[in-house]
Structure 1
Amino acid sequence: MLIGIPKEIKTMENRVSMTPGAVETLVRRGHAVIVEKGAGLGSGLSDDEYVAAGARMVSADEAWAAEMVIKVKEPIASEYKYLRDDLLLFTYLHLAADKKLTDALLKAGTTGIAYETVQLPDGSLPLLTPMSEVAGRMAAQEGALHLEKPKGGRGILLGGVPGVAPANVMVMGGGVVGTNAAKIAAGMGARVTIFDVNHARLQYLDDIFGSRVTTITSTEPNIRAAVTQADLVVGAVLIPGAKAPNLITRGMLSTMKEGSVIVDVAVDQGGCVETIKPTTHTDPTYVVDGVVHYGVANMPGAVPRTSTFALVNQTLPYALLLADKGLDALGVNNSLKLGLNTMKGRLTCAAVGEAFGIDTVTPDEALA
């Protein structure tokens, strides 16, 4: 198969979808890999390294003309022109928060397999997990940074100092993002509370964190009471493939402390804070009712070297399966089949269809 690796062009997105080592593995399996010139530079990977691995360096147009294109982030508007009905696109898509991209993929007839909906039998999301780990850890870091007065925050040190109380950190969701955010925030000395609807998950988190973290069942009254005391709120709620629920409403903001900070990692799925909107690394925050909102939708792009290698460790086995078998891979790997979001003009992700009122078919029906 001819596999294309385009350069990511989203603002400050320095990750790349395949490392030279991954390219070498694909080439040894008999596949041809073309990489857009400069695609790996943001992650410290040179064109020469890709050439040594067996790739051919090409233009963006040529990379997108491949049979299968592997990316990191979803195509943005300027890339819609590359979508076509004989293209297999393997990347993060996050369609439930992007009607325009959903329409573009359906109109073009592109087969889109989304990293974030590839799901193992135990319900885990293997291709989302590594970036969730990065984003969760970064959420605590960025929250601590933006609590500083020059960044618009309350002027609070996350861990406090002897004789002065630390910050109160409220983590919405106890999954991979929330657990990693709590780990870093608690490690920095903050008072951390995790909210989740799954009691078994709260039991698990209570066992692993012990007295370092408080766990509370996520209900509207509990959330409403907690935001009044929070210095930092981390949005970490995920419903696979679906739009995130708004758990913190506009009305709650007026009860929050002036200069408190919200970091909503769920922003690429619509966000779990009603007032969140996507921002960029170059302009990451804005203020609503005195509360600083951080809504960068590609947080791991700020640490591309770490993120690229973490992502490729997980995506490469699936990329190899697709390269070896094409769409037949979906018939032999049910986890990968669950990643199918669009095919031949049909939407195959029910959660996206529910978000936009679009009729869907099952992956099996689309493949048939």
Structure 2
Amino acid sequence: MHTHPLQATVGFPRESGTDRRTILTPLLARALLGAGIDVIAEPGIGAGIFLEDKEYATAGVRFAAGEQVWAAPLVARYTCTDPADLSRLARGQHIAALFHAEGDIDLLDALRRCGATAWSYEFVAEDGRFPLGRPSGRIAGVQAVLAGAHTLQAPAGRGVLLAPVDGAPRASVLVIGSGNVGAAAAQTAAALGAQVTVLTRTQRSAADYQRQAPQGVRIQVNTRQNLLAGLAEADLVIGTILVSTYDTPPMIDHGDLEFMRPGAVIVDATCGYGPGYLPTAGPVQAPGDPPRVVAGILHVKIAVFPTLVPVTASAAYAANAAPYLVRLAQAALAGAADPAIEAARIASDGELVHPVLRAHARIYGMRP
């Protein structure tokens, strides 16, 4: 059984695999230490973003072997997607990370088996919003447009430049959704000079988005009529709605592709689980994979855009998450009542406790 000499301790192990990001930056370390929380980390925690151990030590971080870091009462990472990592935990410990476990039967099973209490950043909910999704959502939206701009080029793509050139018609970009990802995609496409249309879920979300929309962006409610009209004129379509169920009716199906221009591009920037709203996109692609061509339309479906810019992603995520991680540590280690943080609890004492994960477990025939 693990022993924890310092009960107000957060351990930061290195990320698994090739992911160069880290949630621990000197800024985050100072925020935790300022709240009276000890911080220990594996040596080389910031190597992937070119931060040396001495920069962490100056901020007050103590270094320890991986086994000791994993034995901390609260373990925090950027992501936790490898089920094997959870076997390093014991009942009574806590782990916080981006899990996105609802689409992964092996990870769901590992969360149950380890017996630890798990907190998933993406579910932190405050004032009806999910604040820890802002940095990664913005990065995904920006990169979706950049990926679309590249894919639009010949020989496979339509051959349209998103930036305006005298004598050529402006490119048309359709963004489906106006949340973190959609707003960033629309801002990026508009800054490049494209003609941008944003489809929102409701009239209320249209009014909310109007307050931050770049000048010239057209905003419409996502009716069937508006969607088909937008598809017909778009060179690039960016899908940014978060769909994480297997029974979501498709928003764009095979028949809809017939309305689109030959060589147009669809980028799925959120990549929900199951067929979701964009079944023609097929399975998730790895960065660098060629686009999937269906009915003459090029599809890009990448779920890991933030991993391609680890320096930017780590700095932005840690800065945004710092106050929430302090609160999470206080809730996990001291039992502080915090409804926003409690919303992020996904597993505890061998059971899945978050309704989204429990619903997916039932889809797989698992006991939550």
**TM-score, reference length from structure 1:** 0.85
Within the candidate set 162, 182, 186, 1:158 is matched to: 162
Write the deviation string for residues 14-63 of structure 1: whole angstroms up to 9, x where unpaired: 22111023223334544332323323122221122123323233454443
Alignment correspondent of 1:127: 132
Write the deviation string for residues 171-204 of structure 1: whole angstroms up to 9, x where unpaired: 1111121111101101111111111222112134
Q: For 1:87 and 1:9, how far apart are their aligned partners in 2? A: 19
Q: For 1:175 and 1:256, how far apart are their aligned partners in 2? A: 24
* Maintained 8 Å contact 1:196/1:217: yes
The 1:37/1:287 distance shift into structure 2, 3 A limit, reads farther
Within the candidate set 256, 263, 268, 2:267 is matched to: 263
Alignment correspondent of 2:301: 295
1:105 aligns with 2:87: no
* Maintained 8 Å contact 2:41/2:64: yes
1:67 aligns with 2:68: no
Alignment correspondent of 1:8: 15
Alignment of 1:276-315 (within 5 A): 276-283=282-289, 285-315=291-321
Q: For 1:282 and 1:41, how far apart are their aligned partners in 2? A: 24
Q: For 2:9 and 2:149, how far apart are their aligned partners in 1? A: 44
Alignment of 1:156-195 (within 5 A): 156-195=160-199
The 1:64/1:210 distance shift into structure 2, 3 A limit, reads closer
Q: Which runs of 4+ in 1 moved over 6 A?
A: none
CA RMSD across the alignment: 2.8
Alignment correspondent of 1:201: 205
1:213 aligns with 2:217: yes
* Maintained 8 Å contact 2:331/2:341: no
Alignment correspondent of 2:235: 231
1:340 aligns with 2:327: no
- Which one-letter code corresponds to 1:110 in the other structure? A
Q: Offset at 1:221?
A: 4.3
Write the deviation string for residues 113-159 of structure 1: whole angstroms up to 9, x where unpaired: 11111111x21111111221222122222211222226x42221012
Identity %: 32
The 1:286/1:84 distance shift into structure 2, 3 A limit, reads farther
The 1:289/1:43 distance shift into structure 2, 3 A limit, reads farther
Within the candidate set 154, 159, 166, 1:149 is matched to: 154
Alignment correspondent of 1:138: 143
Q: Offset at 1:217?
A: 1.8
The 1:261/1:77 distance shift into structure 2, 3 A limit, reads farther
* Maintained 8 Å contact 1:242/1:352: no
Q: For 1:84 and 1:62, how far apart are their aligned partners in 2? A: 13
The 1:149/1:34 distance shift into structure 2, 3 A limit, reads farther
* Maintained 8 Å contact 2:31/2:323: no
Unaligned runs of 5+ in 1: 360-365
Choose 23-32 or 48-57, whichever is displaced more: 23-32
- Which one-letter code corresponds to 1:300 in the other structure? P
Q: For 1:182 and 1:244, how far apart are their aligned partners in 2? A: 28
Q: For 2:309 and 2:247, how far apart are their aligned partners in 1? A: 25
Alignment correspondent of 1:362: none
* Maintained 8 Å contact 1:237/1:244: no
The 1:325/1:347 distance shift into structure 2, 3 A limit, reads closer
The 1:119/1:269 distance shift into structure 2, 3 A limit, reads farther
Alignment correspondent of 1:89: 95
Alignment correspondent of 2:327: 321
